[in-house]
Amino acid sequence: MITLQEIQQNESIRALVMAGNNYLDALGYTDHGPHHLRYVSRTASGILTALGYSRREIELAAIAGWVHDVGNSINRHNHGPNGAVLLFPILKEAGMEIADVMEVITAVGNHEEQSGTVSTAISAALVIGDKSDAHKSRVRNGKVDPLDVHDRVNFAIQENHVAVDKEARMIRQSLVMDESSSVLEYLSIYLSRIIMCEKAAAFLGQGFDLTINGSPVNNRR
């Protein structure tokens, strides 16, 4: 089975990751490079590990997390479907089994909240990994543009934890924000992403519980 380490070392994928991150930097977006990809890969695979999924599914979730944003090398719009199309020949050429290729590109092609549909455990884990990533470390070079709500919100988030509570059948995300931004500003960006996380968690048979500074944000199951 192709491993995450092999994917990380693939020259084509590395070039796409770099190009996409550079493009988003030019647009003024927060980090979408290796730092973001490590978080998404680790969180997605960690969720499936905690829920007892197979080694294959865990590894594919980790891979999907690493490659999910390669479509940004073409354009921010429809970067999920574009990324899936780009990845198909690359993953085949890398020696990945066709069934595994399809798992990864289905997840990548459906991780955007604007058009994505969760249809597999891997895609569900990818959605939660991607949409939960908010933290001050995503602000490029630690330089906040005061006119950019994405910078303000991310820089205000001091802590971000995602954990699976198997006994309660709940995936819990807890954020700690300082007063340089607000929960309202956070929701102005992340509301549709929270809703997609709820749907993804439900696909995995879990609830999704978000708290900010100890206060509940969404309805609990």
Of 142, 127, 115, 145, nearest to 27 by C-alpha is 145
Residue 87 inside a domain? The answer is yes
The residues pairing with 174 across neighbouring beta strands, listed in sequence order, are 161, 211
CA–CA dist 137, 142 (Å, integer)? 7
pLDDT string in tens for the chain (221-residue length): 899 999 999 999 999 999 999 999 999 899 999 999 999 999 999 999 999 999 999 999 999 999 999 999 999 999 999 999 999 999 999 999 999 999 999 999 999 998 899 999 999 999 999 999 999 999 998 889 998 999 999 999 999 999 999 999 999 999 999 999 999 999 999 999 999 999 999 999 999 999 999 999 997 65
pLDDT at 220: 66
The CA-based angle 148-66-158, given to 5 degrees, is 40
Residue 133 inside a domain? The answer is yes
Residue 221 inside a domain? The answer is no
Range of the domain at 59: 4-216
Rounded (10°) CA dihedral 93, 95, 96, 99: 80
pLDDT at 141: 87
0.85 exceeded by the pTM? yes
CATH number, domain of 41, equals 1.10.3210
* Domains contained in the chain, number: 1
pLDDT at 221: 58
The answer to whether the CB of 156 falls within 8 A of the CB of 30 is no
Residue 56 inside a domain? The answer is yes
Residue 76 inside a domain? The answer is yes
